[in-house]
Amino acid sequence: MGGFFGIISRADCVSDLFYGTDYNSHLGTKRGGMAVLSSKEFKRAIHNIENSYFRTKFEPDLSKMYGNSGIGVISDGGTNLSELIAMLIDEESSFERGIENVFDKVKGSCSILLLTREGLYAARDKLGRTPVVIGRKEGAFAASSESSAFFNLGYKTEKFLGPGEIVFMTAEGYEQRRKPNDKMQICAFLWVYYGYPSSDYEGINVEECRYRCGAALAKDDTVDVDFAAGIPDSGIAHGLGYATEKKIPFKRPYVKYTPTWPRSFMPQSQEVRDLVAKMKLIPVESLISGKKIVFCDDSIVRGTQLKETVQILYDFGVKEVHIRPACPTLIYPCTFLNFSRSRSTLDLAGRKAIQELEGTDEVDLAGYAIPGTEKYEAMIEKIRKRINVTTLKYQRLDDLIEAIGLPKDKVCTHCWDGTSYY
């Protein structure tokens, strides 16, 4: 995973670059970098942000930087990946042809910001799995992975780049250097999980999409509960959508302690992920004891953290726990963005259940991806027992696609149904 922010301006760009990059921090926790170009010199800073926040590490560098253009990145990748991309670009006679060379040779997703003395190139990966959005304000243009990076910096969203599209930006404007491809496979998990609530992708807001996901979960759900809730943070909007549709109360039996505990899905170590997930959620006993609760969550990846969360509810006297993930069962690992840090396919709760049912992992998965089939129901029951909940009901893929609002053939659903394009 990763995110970036780039800017070219008539005035000094360092402040906007710093805050714009920081607004992409939720997309990675391993490395951060900033590079600024002025008429006299090139300045850059790279820091490990695994044990600290972007702002804390980069604030001391700001006084040493000045320039009219710059790029910033938040990443969980290694520097060798950037070097590889640079080598592929350098193989060709122009930056445009070099970026196309990357698109042709890289299997997966690679969006690019390229800082030159003449201007700033922004390119969205060839199938558009991740977004790139252009913003503008008086005297400046910017490109970002997240449209929400623009609001507080005074930028207005100007354009969402299409798949494979390349634009060249100056402080006066931008021009298209490569037309977008027809085929798009934008990652559905942007709306379900790792996109920021205030961001738009393809003109579709994340928070509103999550309300629709929650409403879809509630539509045919007959479970009788005292109230709905969401697993903080990304499950909250799904839970609000569920509660609104069912006309039942929404409450917060778990609250998140945010001052010191960051997001938990990024750390490489399973032990660290589990510790962070446990420590940052604090139960509200008076809302739990004796209650029947339906919890909406963005997804179930491994299920280990959710199992611990559910056990705490039982420790505090909950009567029933009903889990409603906002997306279908994950049975195929992501091979494009690596949003999950699972080291093995069998880490996925769905695949683990299938392996237990079949006695082998070498099976046709198609039957397990279709709700209502005998295989599907057996898989769900295995997962339900493992995480120890009263009922478990996943989102249907067609309901998720409808909640997003794009045609199915423009959304990457590989994690759920195995479809994939390169």
Neighbouring C-beta atoms of residue 378, cutoff 10 Å = 16
Residue 343 pLDDT: 55
Q: Are residues 178 and 235 in the same domain?
A: no
Q: Are residues 107 and 72 in the same domain?
A: yes
Residue 257 pLDDT: 81
Neighbouring C-beta atoms of residue 92, cutoff 10 Å = 14
Beta carbons of 125 and 102 less than 8 angstroms apart: no
Residue 342 pLDDT: 53
pLDDT below 70 — which residues of the chain?
78-80, 259-277, 338-343, 422
Q: Are residues 210 and 162 in the same domain?
A: no
Q: Are residues 162 and 54 in the same domain?
A: yes
Per the structure, the count of domains in the chain is 2
Residue 14 pLDDT: 97
Name the residue type at position 105: K
Instruction: Name the residue among 24, 160, 76, 113 with its Cα closest to residue 334.
Output: 76
Q: Classify residue 240: in a domain, yes or no.
A: yes
CA distances to 48, 179, 262, 358 from 6, in Å: 20, 20, 25, 49
Burial status of residue 94 (CB atoms within 10 A of its CB: 0-12, 13-18, 19 or more): exposed
Q: Are residues 155 and 216 in the same domain?
A: no
Q: Classify residue 413: in a domain, yes or no.
A: no
Q: Classify residue 82: in a domain, yes or no.
A: yes
Q: Classify residue 295: in a domain, yes or no.
A: yes
Q: Are residues 280 and 346 in the same domain?
A: yes
Q: Classify residue 47: in a domain, yes or no.
A: yes
Q: Are residues 285 and 169 in the same domain?
A: no
Q: Are residues 285 and 319 in the same domain?
A: yes
Q: Are residues 96 and 171 in the same domain?
A: yes
Q: Are residues 99 and 135 in the same domain?
A: yes
Q: Are residues 279 and 346 in the same domain?
A: yes
Residue 144 main-chain phi, psi, to 5 deg: -145, 155
Joined tokens for residue 367? 């039957």
Quick one: what percent of the chain has pLDDT higher than 70? 93
Q: Classify residue 77: in a domain, yes or no.
A: yes
Residue 257 main-chain phi, psi, to 5 deg: -90, 105
> Domain of 286: which CATH number?
3.40.50.2020
Question: Could you list the residue range(s) of the whole structural domain that residue 11 is in?
Answer: 2-184
Collect all residues with Cβ–Cβ distance below 8 Å to 123 and sequence separation of at least 6. 99, 103, 111, 112, 113, 114, 132, 161, 164, 165, 166, 167, 178
Residue 265 pLDDT: 45
Residue 422 pLDDT: 66
Q: Classify residue 356: in a domain, yes or no.
A: yes
> Domain of 175: which CATH number?
3.60.20.10
Q: Are residues 168 and 232 in the same domain?
A: no
Q: Classify residue 24: in a domain, yes or no.
A: yes
**Each residue's pLDDT tens digit, 61-93:** 999 999 999 999 998 876 567 888 999 999 999
Domain boundary among 152, 184, 216: 184
Residue 264 pLDDT: 45
